[in-house]
Amino acid sequence: MKIIDNEIHYTITEVGQLIGATRATILRWYEYEEMQNDSYQHILPKYKRIGGNNAMYFSINDLPKFDIFRNNTKKGDMAKVSNKYNGTISNNASK
C-alpha cells in the first residue's frame, strides 16, 4: 500500500489479495481487454506506474471495477488469452 496524491493505492499483488485473484489472472484480464475491438467498453481501471521497478498501482476507489469485470466476463470469453499461456492452440486460430 502506498499513499499517492493523498489517496490509498495498492500494487497489483495487493489488489489480487483483496479481490481473491492472482497477479497473473489480473494481468490476463488486462491482456484480454487490450485484445478487444474499438467498440468494446473497457471496465478495468487505469493504473499508475511508479518507482524504479515500474510497479502497477491502483486506487482504492478502483477495486469495485475488478468485481464488475469478473461478474461481466462470461465463461469462454478469456479462452484466447488462457490458451496462450496454457499451451493450447485453438483449431480456429488460423481462420
Alpha-carbon span 44 to 29, nearest angstrom: 8
Q: Which segment of 19-23, 72-76, 81-85 scores lowest on mean pLDDT? A: 81-85
Question: Which residue has better confidence, 20 or 52?
Answer: 20
- Tens-place pLDDT, residues 25-61: 999 999 999 988 888 889 999 999 988 888 999 999 9
Judge whether residue 68 has pLDDT over 80: yes
Alpha-carbon span 57 to 48, nearest angstrom: 5
Helices (H), 8-78: 12-19, 23-35, 63-72
Q: Which residue has the cell 521497478?
A: 53
Amino acid 53: pLDDT: 86
Amino acid 88: pLDDT: 65
Assess contact for 45 and 62: CB atoms under 8 A. Answer: yes
